[in-house]
Structure 1
């Protein structure tokens, strides 16, 4: 037996013998807004005056920009949060305040105190000597503090304070070095290398998870090790840098793909490792977190795969959309940014236990309609390590509030990536962005709110205190090998696959219900699959939910923009048994055009899901 397969069988046997505990009760949570540097009235040189910041230590831009503001995680003591900001309005040199300019990474106090200079923040990257920061990569998103506390991942760079804690007075610009990260993808080591994106740091401080796009817009995910290279002889930039080595493609070629066909019989394989978008690691790093293939129609969820056994767990199952997620360091909890409670996705995913057959063509729509441009619907949800189950769907972290303008649960403040736990498990940090035009105001029927935070920024940094919890010492990180047993080695010179998910060809198929009934399936297209037509007859996988009726969906990719999808959708589904539900389009069907990058909802026709008498209609255009 293949090593990964035997380890998987052992792991599953162990897990199945364990009893999943009953759902935890809600706990008290206090949410406060953390202070940020002063907001500049404009970007103009000198706009950060002594009236705005009497200390002369910089002002940040009010607008969020493209990843210019992004919060990360805690320092080991739990008293500081790392944040990416854009400093603007500084005077010119030789004024000492001139160092506070451009995109920088800072620490923000999370305990109400100040640094010894009197500020409640500290710039880590400002005034680092040029010789200590050579050929930095321009990508400076998703900041993460190393578990050691003396380094930080800053986009495609590593900020290193020479063994000093980032929060200490000993961490000065002169002692700080910032190194670019290089991923060698050429067999001879030449060139700029690959383009990793959304890097996530493993708890062992040695490994990274990341993703990368293919030439046609597909996405693969990888796991590799960081290795310092003081004097690189090949590749660019040829300066001291961190190299990504021992890279693994997160795909097991020895397993069935998620959807397979045996002659004309379709099967779904829940143990398939199909990493759609990497989201990080469990608290100790024994599992990789990712967005995986939907197990129910149009229902996007987070999964975890064990780094050794390849055992797959579905962490979320609520019909709403989930994306950013972070585990506590003791591995017992995770917090997810989720649209649950907003009803944003219920019109298309609210009917449960429908097999994800139409997802072959609707997956881009399901993952795009969660937003409407700059209006997002994420809020932080606290869930125990065992995930959604039964009627347990976690607890909204910021539920305590009256929903008014500026309240901690104001729906105009949208959760963004990534949340994080303090090392001792008593705090959660997350950040939010305010809805701005064109997602409100002007031609949009929804008015634009005004930020109530000091200086009226379009972002805010939030701290959730889990007041009933006692601090815990986090366990040691999992000893993860450089080569994952189930993954595919990806040495320099390897060619990334276009797809590691499904390879079903057009044709007529049958999917049998695990309990009863059948779905007859037509997959139609010339080469690829453009249309999915399904007829259900008494179909049930669980013996509680029974589906009858049909769906017919056609996807058209509006080239040359591979992200722009047009969907023509016709549905007449009826569900009986544990619930009485319908999913129906109106006369003429439902037609949606959406760009997965812009996420602007633009549709005509209707698609309505009704569950036990409660109707969920698709959003109005522009909302």
Structure 2
């Protein structure tokens, strides 16, 4: 699983929000009823998958602590089956027929409560693969002599989130428009035209666009003020994980959750750990949100399109990803679209990891692939419609974090104040 920050609820957004800009925010859609159901999973074992645990001999699964070895997929075309990634455990040795239920596997799970049937769908081969980037595309940051320009609506695809409902667009995590603001974008496959789907300072990542392209299901921490965790539907600390997926008929959204486990709770962390209510102490569960007031959508067949992506790069197996241009070392002026400017000085060190600017400096090193060490000095003041400051201790704010465990460890302080509201860093070891 890629995400260490877990997602806590999903919001249904009408397609008009895809055009949102700061001064033109449409009204939210009308609330609608949503019924949430839990999908069945095999029994859990910490040792052997015995007949007492699994009389049918169809396998047992592991605990799924931290969500490891589990992930939800999407619906099959019938909207009644979902694909899921699970990890089997404790299988007997061959030639026992149950020996096949071991390790990581892909399974189908029924969502309608029935126990019979044979889902069938066409298979496919993977051909004509295209990398969704090209050195010919304009980069987000461009240099013209001593002027630095920024254009976030360039088709430099970050983390891919999937296709739109009708397949004409690809959604992805793009370059931050505002500082450190994670948002989702969509790029038109045939033209490379980019639009911004979300605009909010809270964290958003997993999204899925409905089959008719009219709605977006987004899992984020919006409305919680600073990425605080929100409660699950009926019990504490069951946190939403990526990714939500629409059913082809537009009446269901499948997602999954895991239970907070140490060190994300207990010990130095003020958040308590809660016991699992499930057999064997299982930490994961798969859920379906049923949009009970909606009728199934009937969509016309998608017409075939060219395999080519004009703004992409054809990929051959074994081919290395190219490096992309970035501003070279030097002093630049970056002008705001509304007025004002910033003087920017870029200094490369041996690791190409240091960027400095007036009144704020940030140095990053990577002792290993997953560990980030940062030294941050800041003394910024903003006045006007929003009065804000961002300040560090006199000796700086020094942070070390492993992205695989996401446990916070820092010395010094980083304090942001916005219109009198003070935001401080989390406690260490949380």
Shift of 1:427: 0.7
Deviates most, 467-476 or 264-273: 467-476
Q: Does 2:272 align with 1:447?
A: yes
Aligned to 1:59: 60
The answer (yes or no) to whether the contact 2:153–2:196 under 8 Å persists in 1 is no
Q: Does 2:422 align with 1:603?
A: no
> What CA distance in whole angstroms lies between the structure 1 residues aligned with 2:121 and 2:301?
17
1:397-436 to 2 correspondence within 5 Å?
A: 403=231, 407-408=232-233, 410=235, 412-436=237-261
1:129-140 to 2 correspondence within 5 Å?
A: none
Aligned to 1:74: 75
**Cα separation, partners in 2 of 1:606 and 1:342, compared to 1, 3 Å:** farther
1:395-544 to 2 correspondence within 5 Å?
A: 403=231, 407-408=232-233, 410=235, 412-477=237-302, 479-491=304-316, 494-498=319-323, 500=324, 502-526=325-349, 529-535=352-358
**Cα separation, partners in 2 of 1:575 and 1:330, compared to 1, 3 Å:** same
Aligned to 1:320: 202
Which of the residues 22, 40, 47 maps onto 1:43? Answer: 47
> What CA distance in whole angstroms lies between the structure 2 residues aligned with 1:490 and 1:86?
31
> What CA distance in whole angstroms lies between the structure 1 residues aligned with 2:170 and 2:428?
36
| Structure 2 residues without counterparts, runs of 5 or longer | 1-18
The answer (yes or no) to whether the contact 2:396–2:412 under 8 Å persists in 1 is yes
The answer (yes or no) to whether the contact 1:300–1:322 under 8 Å persists in 2 is yes
> What CA distance in whole angstroms lies between the structure 2 residues aligned with 1:91 and 1:435?
31
Which of the residues 551, 566, 570 maps onto 2:373? Answer: 566
TM-score, normalization: structure 2?
0.85
> What CA distance in whole angstroms lies between the structure 2 residues aligned with 1:556 and 1:88?
39
Secondary structure, in 3 states, of the residue corresponding to 1:417? strand
Question: Deviations for 1:382-427, whole angstroms, at most 9, x for unmatched residues?
Answer: xxxxxxxxxxxxxxxxxxxxx3xxx426562222222101111111
Aligned to 1:620: 427
Aligned to 1:253: 135
Question: Deviations for 1:447-476, whole angstroms, at most 9, x for unmatched residues?
Answer: 322112344311011111112222112343
1:22-421 to 2 correspondence within 5 Å?
A: 22-40=27-45, 42-44=46-48, 47-50=49-52, 52-64=53-65, 67-93=68-94, 95-115=96-116, 149-150=120-121, 226=125, 244-344=126-226, 403=231, 407-408=232-233, 410=235, 412-421=237-246
Question: Deviations for 1:97-134, whole angstroms, at most 9, x for unmatched residues?
Answer: 44433333222221222226xxxxx9xxxxxxxxxxxx
> What CA distance in whole angstroms lies between the structure 2 residues aligned with 1:496 and 1:443?
41
**Cα separation, partners in 2 of 1:271 and 1:467, compared to 1, 3 Å:** same
The answer (yes or no) to whether the contact 2:59–2:89 under 8 Å persists in 1 is yes
The answer (yes or no) to whether the contact 1:510–1:519 under 8 Å persists in 2 is yes
**Cα separation, partners in 2 of 1:410 and 1:323, compared to 1, 3 Å:** farther
> What CA distance in whole angstroms lies between the structure 2 residues aligned with 1:344 and 1:410?
22
Secondary structure, in 3 states, of the residue corresponding to 1:71? strand
> What CA distance in whole angstroms lies between the structure 2 residues aligned with 1:491 and 1:102?
30
Aligned to 2:385: 578
The answer (yes or no) to whether the contact 2:67–2:283 under 8 Å persists in 1 is no
> What CA distance in whole angstroms lies between the structure 2 residues aligned with 1:471 and 1:493?
43
**Cα separation, partners in 2 of 1:607 and 1:27, compared to 1, 3 Å:** farther
Shift of 1:310: 0.5
**Cα separation, partners in 2 of 1:621 and 1:104, compared to 1, 3 Å:** same
Question: Deviations for 1:328-360, whole angstroms, at most 9, x for unmatched residues?
Answer: 1111122223233455559xxxxxxxxxxxxxx
> What CA distance in whole angstroms lies between the structure 1 residues aligned with 2:249 and 2:70?
26
Shift of 1:311: 0.5
Secondary structure, in 3 states, of the residue corresponding to 1:416? strand
Secondary structure, in 3 states, of the residue corresponding to 1:418? strand
Question: Deviations for 1:498-525, whole angstroms, at most 9, x for unmatched residues?
Answer: 3x3x411111111112222121111122
The answer (yes or no) to whether the contact 1:563–1:596 under 8 Å persists in 2 is yes
- Flag the structure with more relative contact order, 1 or 2, with Cα contacts below 8 A and sequence separation at least 6: 2
Secondary structure, in 3 states, of the residue corresponding to 1:113? coil
The answer (yes or no) to whether the contact 1:343–1:616 under 8 Å persists in 2 is no
Q: What is the RMSD of the two structures over their aligned residues, measured on CA atoms?
A: 2.9
Secondary structure, in 3 states, of the residue corresponding to 1:588? coil
Task: Report the count of equivalent residues.
Answer: 409
The answer (yes or no) to whether the contact 2:66–2:259 under 8 Å persists in 1 is no
**Cα separation, partners in 2 of 1:428 and 1:320, compared to 1, 3 Å:** same
Shift of 1:428: 0.5
Secondary structure, in 3 states, of the residue corresponding to 1:245? coil
The answer (yes or no) to whether the contact 1:72–1:418 under 8 Å persists in 2 is yes
> What CA distance in whole angstroms lies between the structure 1 residues aligned with 2:292 and 2:328?
54
Aligned to 1:155: none
> What CA distance in whole angstroms lies between the structure 1 residues aligned with 2:317 and 2:88?
38
